[in-house]
Structure 1
Amino acid sequence: MNGFKKLIILLFILMFPTAAFASGKAQLNLWKKDLFYYGLCGHCAELVSSVENKDRTDFFPYDNLGLRSGYFVADLAGPAGTSVTLYGLEDFRTNHGYLVIVKKDDSMVEIDDLGAFAAGEWTDVEKEKGAYSVFYHPHQNFESLISSVEWGKWWDGSIPEKSN
């Protein structure tokens, strides 16, 4: 039974990127990991998925994700130029930090440490596959607090800023 459960989880994981590329839309998968709860499993954590142009003001029905220990990691599929912003509060509020991700190629972007970027400036992450740029407005424990997702470019100029 345990092997069957692992097979179902693996098929579920593999299905998401394929569906995103087949539809031509970008897709963001956020996983909230907790080493003490889930162990060393790659993607055994709770999954929150968002499809391009479907902003999420909160993570309903995953109400208690903010109360759980652990941290988020992200996988972003879609074409070059896809941009998405992760916020540390619901309703796209910036008081608890935010992270803007912009894809530079068509390969999957995988980010295991969402708080590991320079503050207040664009950072380019160059990889053979999965290159991207990020703008990070930090907050303590941001990678644990992510509560809303907004697709596309919402700012004017070169620096993403909101007044809330």
Structure 2
Amino acid sequence: MRSKAFYFTEEDDNMIIKHMKTYGKFTNRFVIISGLLNEKFTCSQISERWRNYLNPELCKDDLGYYEKVIIDHEVQKFLMKGDKIKIRWRKVIRELFRLFGKLYSENKVKNYWNMKYRSKMKKDIKNDAKKANEKSKPKSCSSNYSKGKSKENKFSPY
């Protein structure tokens, strides 16, 4: 039976790394490895574990300034395409690898974008609330007219 919550032990990680060295070139490598691990984990769980944690080619460094600029640019290209807001993270990662020769994990790139997007949304919400408060306040008349100091501005019905 497959586990709902997947907890990888160090032994499981070592087995996945060992099997990836053997079956890494196959297109169905994660299916094979799942079978070899007695289906303890699903194919997608093994794939996610490999892509984000176990791959020895992963760059563990923080994202640099230029990497962040490229992520912003690539994500904006996906968002500008139209109604479907589906960001292809693997394409973004592939572009980073092509430009910088560093393979970043999908989680690292997503976390950067989501934190930036979330902080941008908070700023936008605050600005919208500030504008709404300014619009809802009644505009006061000029101070001279409202205090009755100016006789020429005073309204006379006759």
> Shorter-chain TM-score: which interval?
under 0.3
Higher helix share: 2
Q: Which has the higher contact order (CA 8 A, sep 6+)?
A: 1
TM-score by structure 1 length?
0.23
Which one has a larger percent strand, Structure 1 or Structure 2? 1
If the length of structure 2 is used for normalisation, what is the TM-score? Answer: 0.24
From the CA coordinates, give the structure whose radius of gyration is larger.
2
